[in-house]
Amino acid sequence: MKSFEGKLKAVTFSFDDGVTQDIRLINILNRYGLKATFNLNSSYLGLSGQLNRNDHVVRHDKNPACQIAAIYRGHEVAVHTLTHPNLTELDEDTIVWQVEEDRKALEGLTGYQVRCMAYPCGGVNNDDRVAEVIKNRTHICFARTITSSYSFDIPDNLYRYDPSVYYIEKERLFQLGESFIKLKADRPQVFYIWGHSYEMDAEYIKWDEFEEFCQLISGKADIFYGTNGEIFAGSC
């Protein structure tokens, strides 16, 4: 990985679960020319639900399968497994089934190759064993964890990629954004932001605060703005 279309800095976003709040989120990203990867559980598409988060009851309705291609056009759809299990608790064959069946279903809905994923479930949701299974027995070439690195460095192991920051860590999000803008990179660096769009309804971070961040990080001539696949495609 030498550069991103000739630039040494890249920004990418990643959001999990495929919920209806993604539509509002995408409108904000598009307004500022930003790109995201959306990690979906294909067997849950179209299901309705709600969550109790941060003293708020928020909707957790999944976008329907028939609308996936249209909703996420211009961005990227990626694997989040069929049913959102903790992969560290599964045997190898079940890990492969969860990942590959989700990948094939999403490829059928989008019409393009799906090669990226985000590990499902909270807590310790990945380990070296699972990463090796995914590397050796699936078509996935990039997998994101949920552990903030607070760094822009690209790890050697793209199957356990720690993002820069969880976007509900608002203070760190903006601090890292300012640092990344000022950074004079001498090697490829990626500012990787992840979360769930419904968390803005729960006001872990407010919608207007997220838009303020998007305005801050966007439009910089020395930064490439891309999906996970566009940035890490060379690993495939």
Go through the domains of the chain in sequence order and give each one's CATH number. Answer: 9-235 (3.20.20.370)
What does the DSSP assignment read for 117-182? EE--SSSS---HHHHHHHHHHSS--EEE-S------PPPS-TTSB--SEETT-HHHHHHHHHHHHH
Determine the pLDDT at residue 126: 97
For residues 231, 148, 121 and 50, what is the CA-based torsion angle, rounded to 10 degrees? Answer: -100
Determine the pLDDT at residue 52: 98
* The token pair that represents 233 in the structure block: 């495609």
Determine the pLDDT at residue 236: 63
CA distance 213 to 167: 10
Q: Indicate whether 235 pLDDT > 70.
A: no
Q: Indicate whether 2 pLDDT > 80.
A: no
Look up the pTM and report it.
0.97
Q: Residue 3 — very low, low, confident or very high, per pLDDT cuts 50/70/90? A: confident
Within a 10 A sphere around the Cβ of 213, how many other Cβ atoms? 20
Q: Indicate whether 1 pLDDT > 70.
A: no
Determine the pLDDT at residue 103: 98
**pLDDT (average), residues 86-109:** 98
What does the angle CA 108 – CA 109 – CA 113 come to, to the nearest 5 degrees?
60
Q: Residue 233 — very low, low, confident or very high, per pLDDT cuts 50/70/90? A: confident
